[in-house]
Chain A
């Protein structure tokens, strides 16, 4: 085997691999039926080398563990599938994610793997959508498939597929979505084969190693520059676990020992009774920290797992982040997102360009199921969005996706297929945390239900608000309301609930959290405050209380009154605080 390829060939192979990885996305999205995969891009591809190390992609590599289980009985034409988080060390973290993997061969030689996981709309279990908010064990969360071959030597294992599809409420959709994932893996295998033919197999495999080294070298520089030997810590909270416990504390310490960054979650609460446990793979944990630093510093660097030995991860056993089997996992997104919030809060203390405020803090779901007038089963599942945080670069975004490449399903699509009529869809005024760069606002979506059925909801940040940073203030919290047909006053309902019976004509008011602001709101440009007030994103009252900006009757800034008010507010406040939490469980009183 050659020991190195020239730098230009290396760059060419890197480009070719990136193209292949994006092609995986586009194939999956074109074929998939489920709007969760198609519109919300809840699918994650990767390409690995023959050792199972991720060369390009954005999730942790677990392939060596699978290979080990099959004692190297891995052949051309095999396609593996699984969804059990406990059988793959948390590389996927709830049963809804079906993961597909195939080995890649070139002229009979094994040169790598391709893999994708995607979110299935339903995988069985006790509630539609398979994410019961009151589950206490994973046995309640649908079918668990250990790693098995769904294709062996190119032949479909009908039995495996039949078992999987027999255990979901949406078999046609899951079949198409699974085939979409497989098609995505196949296209990667084909492209890698072509790269081997073009540059030579040895050159390709050597280049993979060099790409790992190259990213590792870059990460070493970033770690040395931005992570101090002295620990920084950060604490944030998940509201509750859906069965009455909470808030749950997450506590992170970060420090550097030599070239190695230590990420220590000691101090995080014990695992929850309800399903908010996040069984995270160590590799994934490393990747999340690496990607965050790369994105803030040089987003063109290719993510791969070359830098994994530069991170040391401490995940206390039996904690929220390392729960013991058979802890329930389906609603782990709250904890997942709080993981990222802690990461931003800790890293931001030593590196200003890594300082982002907290966002809407989960992936809010709305599920509506029932039978229509013709007796046909329907299952609407929709992800909602909220405030994307204030950032060093500028304002956050109102009602946008914190998660990459997600986008809202068109209302006209939803209303064509499901018995709902959306009455309004708009940002929540004053829910974006004040800041020199304002946090994004949360969303209010009002659904009028046209058939009887039942609804399920998952959300968070109802109790503990998204915090602001570098002087920025916290953002608004989430809430859910049900207005029964014929009533005039809505009743408040929980942010995590399942199978609430509803009647035709009932309305659900779904409000997501905003996000924290970045920087001192007293320094925000007057023109920006005026624009927000005129667009009804910020009230005149909040402009005065948080930004120190006074408006006249024509919604024009009164500059003289404003500068006097800002002056006195500054004097009263003193130095702006590094963080503004709004409410710290056990420390301060809840807002509202």
Chain B
């Protein structure tokens, strides 16, 4: 029995799957932000009661955590010491010298303190060249003294990040050994281990971020392991990585920077599962929450991977699921510019507190959720909740926006939704149109608290159908965790002109990476049948600054041939992404092997009982505003629908953890897995 655990800002969601009976159980408990492990332990007890099992029956716990993310976002990480090459102590302070656009952007720039302060940064006499040759030998005496002084100054972790260490890590390793001699308990991260790639700032900040979150992650892991043991769980704990893969708790304690986007990973993985189950090859994941919306692309059942991301103001060069996030969500505040009278929505958010006006928690500024209330999309009483929404309050707040724009409250509410949708559309376009993908070839999976409210309108804008609303959007992330694979990446930077480079060296490097990957899979106890290794090469035209990742087949690595195909693929991909190809030398930047250990799929049980007659599931009829007029709109109880039911739009489809808006001229079918599939009437039967 596998247990998926997703800790969110408000709730901790759990999903338990019993492989033998094919049954799944879900549970939801309030999150405990001061110590997430408490909520998790409560949830485990709850779900075991529901399923009638003992905690010791659980064979694996798969856990997505925001501990690392929150530490960076809230500036509450550890005090990190940093050893760099002498002369480059200001690498983090200078932060690539970047200031924002447009002209005079610096006037309003806010720059957070570096994750390792200048006072805790020390230069070490040594220097490596770009070719990995020693220019200045490491001064060990000076290094010992500096290490002693820094480690005794009260730092909680130490990062070593020297110039060109990706090309030769001898000095970094020696420093690590020197630290271990004097301070065996000091937590140390080494840049050539965390990110063996060139670009000194990116490598340093990523490695420092690892240390910044590491003591917190280690404390958290030991607490949660202890609490799980206390409630009787005897199995292993695995942590979800930012790229949707799994790592052991021990690995997470070593490299917590790989969990900075652990949170959104589950939903994307679940979208990939949905793609495989429904046969919809191309899907957009649309996860709209309270303050932001995350979108990503799944093609052929596989999510896209990105190798750089941002956590707050800081870049992190780690593999992540390629999720684009924008500051528009249910809590985004609408306001009218004093000077231009233009309507703006977000990125300012009312969050959970004070929240939208309608939630009666003290919010006074109109939000996207209030606009949904005004238009009748959000029912005045939420299912499963005791809360009665303040419809009149929401309407008054939205009416103020209307007054300054000369619009009725309904049209102002519609405007707020249109602007919010446009912001999200920008993010969806970025991951499709801007990458040469046609959104009309895609469907869309809607989840997150507000996703199903907006998905139909988004699909109409982009032309991406069907909209899939999974049976349990609230536990979608936890479901994704259950099917996550073991995963790790092994990379080597080799900045060389491809034409000059002896091909032998490339294949030798791949062979070496393959050996590392295989060793890791064995170490993680992955059965041979479940093992997989894939390869890729990051290429660019000589002197470009951005690389394109091209897959290399396992056969090519095995037979040590096939570079011509890789080059051909590079030219074609560059043209698809950027509209041009050049007749210029190609440059190799990074070789990569990704090791995976697959896990068995979750067999979901189809919905039982219920009715295929949508009319029989109507709970209520209320008015809702679409296309400039009010419609009498049925509210439908989703739990009463059986597979095969068809609902004509407009309709509001309600369930425990979300509300789906079905627009006029659309219909929704319930498929055999319980998904709602929304199509435009013109397209369908």
Contacts and interface: CB of A to CB of B under 8 A. Distances in A.
Interface of A: 7-8, 10-12, 14-16, 19, 23, 26-27, 29-35, 38-39, 41, 58, 172-173, 175-176, 179-180, 183, 186-187, 214-215, 217-218, 221-222, 288, 291-292, 295-301, 303, 356, 385, 388, 391, 393-394, 397-408, 410-413, 415-417, 421-427, 443, 446, 531, 534-537
B546 A399 contact: no
Interface residues of B, number: 74
Interface string B23-37: 000000000000000
B344 interface: yes
A398 B341 CA distance: 37
A15 B99 contact: no
Given A12-B418, A30-B578, A424-B88, A410 B201 contact: yes
- Among B107, B341, B414, B422, chain A packs the most CB atoms within 10 A around the CB of B107
B312 interface: no
Contact of B341 (A15, A23, A214, A424): A214
Contacts of B97: 385, 399-401, 406-408
Contacts of B338: 298
Contact of B108 (A34, A172, A299, A411): A299
A426 B90 CA distance: 6
Contact of A7 (B89, B198, B406, B429): B406
A291 B111 CA distance: 22
B99 A401 contact: yes
29 contacts: A11-B342, A11-B419, A15-B419, A23-B434, A31-B578, A31-B580, A32-B545, A35-B543, A38-B545, A58-B101, A58-B103, A173-B543, A176-B541, A176-B544, A295-B102, A299-B105, A391-B106, A400-B98, A406-B98, A410-B198, A411-B200, A415-B130, A415-B164, A416-B130, A423-B87, A425-B87, A425-B94, A426-B90, A535-B118
Contacts of B406: 7
B163 interface: yes
Contacts of A446: 87
B682 interface: no
Given A176-B584, A401-B98, A411-B200, A295 B415 contact: no
A109 B496 CA distance: 48
A9 to B, nearest CB: 9
Interface in B360-397: none
Contacts of A173: 543
A239 to B, nearest CB: 23
Main secondary structure of the interface of B (DSSP, over half): loop
A35 B545 contact: yes
Contacts of A394: 110
A425 B90 contact: yes
Given A14-B342, A31-B578, A535-B119, 18 more contacts: A7-B415, A11-B342, A12-B422, A16-B422, A29-B546, A32-B545, A35-B545, A175-B582, A187-B579, A292-B103, A300-B337, A391-B107, A393-B107, A405-B100, A405-B101, A413-B199, A424-B87, A534-B118
Contacts of A291: 102-104
A30 B542 CA distance: 13
Contact of B164 (A32, A301, A401, A412): A412
Contacts of A356: 107
Nearest to B166: A412
B9 interface: no
Given A187-B579, A288-B103, A398 B93 contact: yes
A422 B543 CA distance: 19
B250 interface: no
B88 A425 contact: yes
Interface of B: 86-91, 93-111, 117-119, 127, 129-130, 135, 163-164, 166, 198-202, 337-344, 405-407, 411, 414-415, 418-419, 422-423, 426, 429, 434, 495, 541-546, 577-580, 582, 584
A263 to B, nearest CB: 16
A8 B106 contact: no
B577 A30 contact: yes
A147 B107 CA distance: 36
- Among A12, A215, A393, A399, chain B packs the most CB atoms within 10 A around the CB of A12
Given A7-B407, A31-B544, A417-B543, A397 B106 contact: yes
B101 A404 contact: yes
A41 B338 CA distance: 32
A398 B94 contact: yes
Nearest to B417: A8
B405 A301 contact: no
Contact of B340 (A175, A299, A301): A301
A187 B577 CA distance: 12
Nearest to B108: A299
Nearest to B164: A412
A27 B105 contact: no
B125 to A, nearest CB: 12
A534 B153 CA distance: 14
A412 B342 contact: no
Contacts of B107: 295-296, 356, 391, 393
A405 B97 CA distance: 9
A23 to B, nearest CB: 6
Contacts of A186: 579
A294 B199 CA distance: 35
A5 to B, nearest CB: 13
A33 B118 contact: no
Contacts of B578: 27, 30-31, 183
A215 B406 CA distance: 19
A465 to B, nearest CB: 19
A535 B89 CA distance: 10
A406 B96 CA distance: 9
A204 B252 CA distance: 52
Nearest to A356: B107
Contacts of A303: 102
B130 to A, nearest CB: 4
A412 B199 contact: yes
Contacts of A398: 90, 93-94
Contact of A301 (B135, B201, B337): B337
B405 to A, nearest CB: 5
- Among A10, A27, A33, A303, chain B packs the most CB atoms within 10 A around the CB of A33
A34 to B, nearest CB: 8
B157 to A, nearest CB: 20
Nearest to B427: A19
Nearest to A214: B340
A408 B102 contact: no
B94 A179 contact: no
B414 to A, nearest CB: 7
B641 to A, nearest CB: 34
Contacts of A288: 103
A183 B106 contact: no
A222 to B, nearest CB: 8
B430 to A, nearest CB: 8
